[in-house]
Structure 1
Amino acid sequence: MAEQQHLYLVDGSSYIFRAYHRLPPLTDPEGTPVGAVYGYTTMLWKLAEDLEKAEGPTHLAVILDKDSKSFRNEIYDQYKANRPPAPEDLVPQFPLIRDATRAFSLPCIEMAGYEADDLIASYARAAQARGWNVTIVSSDKDLMQLVGEQNGARIDMLDTMKNQRIFREEVKEKFGVGPELVGDVLALMGDSVDNVPGIFGIGPKTASKLIAEHGSLTAALDAAPEMKPSKLKDRLTEGRFDAELSKVLVTLKEDCELPEPLDDFKLDGVPAAPLAAFLGKHGFTSLLRRLDGGHGSPSRATDLNPPKQQAQSDKGAPEGNRQPLPEMPPIDRNAYETVQTIERLEHWVERAFAARQVAVDTETSSLDSVAADIVGVSLALGPNDACYIPLAHGGSDMFAEKPQQVPLADAIAALKPLLESDAVLKIGQNIKYDINVLARQGIAVAPVDDTMILSFTLDAGRSHDGIGGGHGMDELSERHLGHTPLAFKDVCGTGKKQIPFGEVPLDKATEYAAEDADVTWRLHQHLKPRLSVEGGTRIYERVDRPLIPVVAQMERHGIKVDRAQLARLSEEFASETGRLEKEIHALAGEEFTVGSPKQLGDILFDKLGYKGGKKGKSGQYSTDQSVLEGLAAQGAEIARKVLEWRHLAKLKSTYTDALQEQINPATGRVHTSYSLVGAQTGRLSSTDPNLQNIPVRTPIGRQIREAFVPEAGNLLLAADYSQIELRLAAHMADVPTLKEAFANGEDIHARTAQEMFGEVTRDTRARAKTINFAILYGISRWGLAARLEVEPDEAQAMIDTYFQRFPGIQRYIHETLESVRERGYSETLFGRKTWFPRINSKNQAERQGSERAAINAPIQGTSADIIKRAMARMMPALNEAGLGHVRMLLQVHDELVFELPEGDVSKASPMIERVMAEAARPAVELSVPLGVDIGTGTSWDAAH
Structure 2
Amino acid sequence: MSQSKPVTPQSHVVLVDGSGYIFRAFHALPPLTRKRDGLPIGAVAGFSNMLFKMLKDQKDESRPTHFAVIFDASGQTFRNDIYDLYKANRGEPPEDLVPQFPLTRDASRAFGAPAVEMTGFEADDLIATYARQAEALGARVTIISSDKDLMQLVSDRVSMLDPMKNKTIGPKEVEEKFGVSPDKVIDVQSLAGDSVDNVPGVPGIGVKTAALLLDQYGDLETLLERAGEIPQKGRREKLLEHADMARVSKKLVTLKCDVDVDPVLEDLGVTDPDVEQLFDFLEEMGFRTLTARVRQALGEGVTDGIRADDTKVEVASPATRDRYPNTVFDHTKYECVQSADRLAHWIARAFETGVVAVDLETDSLDSRAANMVGVCLAVEDNEACYVPLAHTGGGDLLGDGAPEQMDMDRALEMLAPLLHDASVLKVGQNFKYDLGVFKRYDLNPTPYDDTMLISYALHNGINGHGMDTLSETHFAHSPVPFKEIAGTGKNQKTFDQIGLEEATRYAAEDADVTLRLWKYLKPKLATSQVTRVYEAIDRDMPHVVAKMENEGIKVDRAELARLSSYFSQKMAGLEAEAHEIAEGPFNLGSPKQVGEILFDKMGLEGGKKTKTGAWQTGVDILEDLADNGEPLPRTILNWRQFSKLKSTYTDALQAQINPETERVHTSFSLAATTTGRLSSSDPNLQNIPIRTEEGRKIRDAFIAEAGHVLVAADYSQIELRLLAHMADLPTMKQAFADGVDIHALTASEMFGVKLADMTPDIRRQAKAINFGIIYGISAFGLAKNTGVDRGTAAEFIKTYFEKFPGIRAYMDATKAEAKERGYVSTLFGRKCHIAGIRERNPQRRAFAERQAINAPIQGTAADIMRRAMIKMPDAIASVEGARMLLQVHDELVFEVPEDRADALISTVKTTMEHAHEPAITLSVPIDVEAQAATNWNDAH
SS in structure 2 at match of 1:87: coil
In structure 2, what residue type is equivalent to 1:830? Answer: F
Distance in 2, matches of 1:663 and 1:642, equals: 32
2:518 is matched with 524
Q: Aligned with 2:694: secondary structure? A: helix
Tell me if the contact between 1:186 and 1:250 (Cα under 8 Å) persists in the aligned partners. no
**2:410 counterpart residue number:** 410
Select the residue among 723, 728, 739 that pairs with 1:734.
Answer: 728
Q: Return the alpha-carbon distance in structure 1 between the equivalents of residues 814 and 519 of structure 2.
A: 33
Alignment equivalent of 1:474, drawn from 468, 486, 506: 468
2:177 counterpart of 1:181: no
Cα offset for 1:680?
2.2
**Cα distance per residue 1:796-850 (max 9 Å; x no partner):** 1111111111111111111111211222112110111112121232333322222
2:454 maps to 454
Structure 1 counterpart of 2:36:
87
In the alignment, structure 1 segments of 5+ residues that lack a partner are 1-20, 25-83, 91-137, 148-170, 218-226, 255-259, 268-274, 279-319, 463-468
Amino acid at match of 2:554: K
Structure 2: gaps of 5 or more residues = 1-28, 40-46, 72-102, 118-122, 143-157, 159-253, 280-294, 306-317, 395-399
CA change 1:844–1:321 in 2 (3 A) is: closer
Contact 1:363/1:377 (<8 A) preserved: yes
Task: Say whether residues 1:503 and 2:416 are aligned partners.
Answer: no
Letter in 1 for 2:444: A
Answer with 931-940 or 382-391: which moved more: 382-391
Residues 83-107 of structure 1 show CA distances to partners (whole Å, capped at 9, x for unaligned) of x9972699xxxxxxxxxxxxxxxxx
Between the aligned partners of 2:555 and 2:829, the Cα distance in structure 1 is 38
State whether structure 2 residue 817 is matched by structure 1 residue 904: no
Opposite residue 511 of structure 1, the aligned amino acid is R
Report the CA distance shift for 1:191/1:776 in structure 2 as closer, same or farther (over 3 A). Answer: closer
Residue in 2 that maps onto 1:667: 661
- The answer as to 2:714 corresponding to 1:765 is no
CA distance in 2, matches of 1:823, 1:614: 49
The equivalent residue for 2:441 is: 441
Q: 1:367 to 1:599 in 2, by over 3 A?
A: farther
Larger Rg: 1
Q: Residue 859 of structure 1: CA displacement? A: 0.7
Q: Does the 8 A contact of 2:711 with 2:894 survive in 1? A: yes
Equivalence for 1:493: 487
TM-score normalised to structure 1 length: 0.66
Q: SS state of the match for residue 274, structure 2?
A: helix
Size of the aligned set, in residue pairs, is 710
Contact 1:183/1:251 (CA < 8 Å) preserved in 2? no
Q: Distance in 2 between matches of 1:210 and 1:382?
A: 61
Q: Deviations over 1:180-212 (max 9, x none)?
A: 835843688996243516151468987899999
Contact 1:184–1:216 (8 Å) recurs in 2: no
Alignment partners' CA distance in 1, 2:595 and 2:833 = 37
> Residue 129 of structure 1 corresponds to which residue in structure 2?
none
What residue in structure 1 maps to residue 218 of structure 2?
none
Q: Which amino acid aligns with 2:105?
A: S
Verify the 8 A CA contact 2:105 2:115 in the aligned structure 1. Answer: no
Greater CA drift, 634-643 or 449-458: 634-643
Deviation at 1:574, TM superposition (A): 4.2
Q: Take 1:232 and 1:769, find their aligned partners in 2: how far apart are those partners?
A: 49
Matched, 1:326 2:324: yes
1:238 aligned to 263, 266, 269, which one? 263
Residue 628 of structure 1: how far off its partner (Å)? 8.1
Task: After superposing the two structures, state which structure 1 stretch, 777-786 or 930-939, moved more.
Answer: 930-939
Report the CA distance shift for 1:686/1:613 in structure 2 as closer, same or farther (over 3 A).
farther
2:116 to 165, 190, 200: 200
Contact preservation (8 Å) 1:183, 1:250:
no
Whether the 8 Å CA contact 2:324–2:520 is kept in 1: the answer is no
Retained in 1: the 8 A contact 2:486–2:493?
yes
Deviation digits for residues 777-804 of structure 1 (CA, Å, limit 9, x no counterpart): 1101111011111111101111111111
Contact 1:569 1:656 in 2 (8 A): yes
Instruction: Confirm or deny that 1:886 pairs with 2:882.
Output: yes
* Residue in structure 2 matched with residue 709 of structure 1 by the alignment: 703
Question: Which stretch of structure 1 is more off in the superposition, 194-203 or 923-932?
Answer: 194-203
Following the alignment from structure 1 to structure 2, what is the Cα–Cα distance between the partners of residues 842 and 266?
Answer: 32
Describe the shift of the 1:199–1:582 C-alpha distance in structure 2 as closer, same or farther (beyond 3 A). Answer: farther
State the identity %: 46
Aligned-partner SS, 2:375: strand
Counterpart contact for 1:188–1:246, Cα < 8 Å: no
Change in 2 beyond 3 A, CA 1:569/1:140 = closer
Distance verdict in 2 for CA 1:329–1:591, change over 3 Å = farther
Aligned mates of 1:700, 1:828 — CA distance in 2: 36
1:383 CA drift (Å): 3.2
Alignment partner, residue 354 of structure 2: 356
Secondary structure of the residue that 1:692 maps to in structure 2?
helix
**Does the Cα contact within 8 Å between 2:709 and 2:897 map onto a contact in 1?**
yes
Q: Mapping of 1:271-350 within 5 angstroms?
A: 324-350=322-348
SS at match of 2:916: coil
For residue 192 of structure 1, give the secondary structure of its aligned residue in structure 2. Answer: helix
Could you say which residue in structure 1 is the equivalent of 2:509?
A: 515
**Correspondence for 1:36:** none
CA distance in 1, matches of 2:402, 2:575: 55
Q: C-alpha distance in 2, partners of 1:401/1:644?
A: 65
* Partners of 1:555 and 1:673 within 8 A in 2: yes
For the 8 Å contact 1:581–1:594, the answer to whether it is kept is: no
**Secondary structure class of the residue paired with 2:824:** strand
For residues 404 and 412 of structure 2, what CA distance do their matches in structure 1 show? Answer: 16
1:606-625 map, 5 Å: 611=608
Q: Is the 8 A contact 2:376 2:387 kept in 1?
A: yes
Question: 1:315-363, CA deviations, whole angstroms, 9 ceiling, x for partnerless residues?
Answer: xxxxx99983533233343432222112222211111222222222212
Residues 721 and 933, structure 1, Cα contact 8 Å, conserved in 2 = yes
Separation of aligned partners in 2, 1:742 and 1:325: 50
Q: Which has the higher contact order (CA 8 A, sep 6+)?
A: 2
Listed as ranges, the matches of 1:124-273 within 5 Å are: 140=49, 144=53, 171-172=57-58, 178=60, 181=63, 184-185=66-67, 192-194=105-107, 196=109, 198-201=114-117, 214=139, 238-239=263-264, 243=268, 248-249=273-274
Q: How far apart are residue 582 of structure 1 and its match?
A: 9.1
Shift in Å at residue 747 of structure 1?
A: 1.0
Equivalent residue runs for 1:838-917 within 5 Å: 838-879=836-877, 882-883=878-879, 885-917=881-913
- The residue type paired with residue 891 of structure 2 is E
Q: Call closer, same or farther: CA 1:265–1:236 in 2, change over 3 Å.
A: closer
Q: Within 1, Cα distance between the matches of 2:296 and 2:451? A: 48
Partner of 1:780: 778
Paired with 1:912 and 1:700, the residues of 2 have a C-alpha distance of 29
Taking the aligned partners of 1:906 and 1:345, their CA distance within structure 2 comes to: 50
Counterpart residue number, 2:363 = 365
Map Cα deviations across residues 17-40 of structure 1 (whole Å, 9 max, x no partner). xxxx9999xxxxxxxxxxxxxxxx
> Match of 1:897, as an amino acid?
V
Q: Residues 425 and 447 of structure 1 are in contact (CA less than 8 Å); yes or no, is this contact kept in structure 2?
A: yes
Structure 1 position 927, deviation (Å): 0.3
Cα distance, 1:650 vs structure 2: 4.7
In 1, Cα distance between equivalents of 2:583 and 2:330: 63
Q: SS of 1:484's equivalent?
A: coil
Cα distance in structure 2, aligned partners of 1:513 and 1:425: 20
Partner SS state of residue 238, structure 1: coil
8 Å CA contact retained: 1:728, 1:859: yes
Q: Say whether 1:929 aligns with 2:925.
A: yes
Whole-angstrom CA distance in 1 between matches of 2:913 and 2:778: 33
Counterparts of 2:927 and 2:410, CA distance in 1 = 51
Tell me which residue corresponds to 2:814.
816
In structure 1, the residue matched to 2:747 is: 753
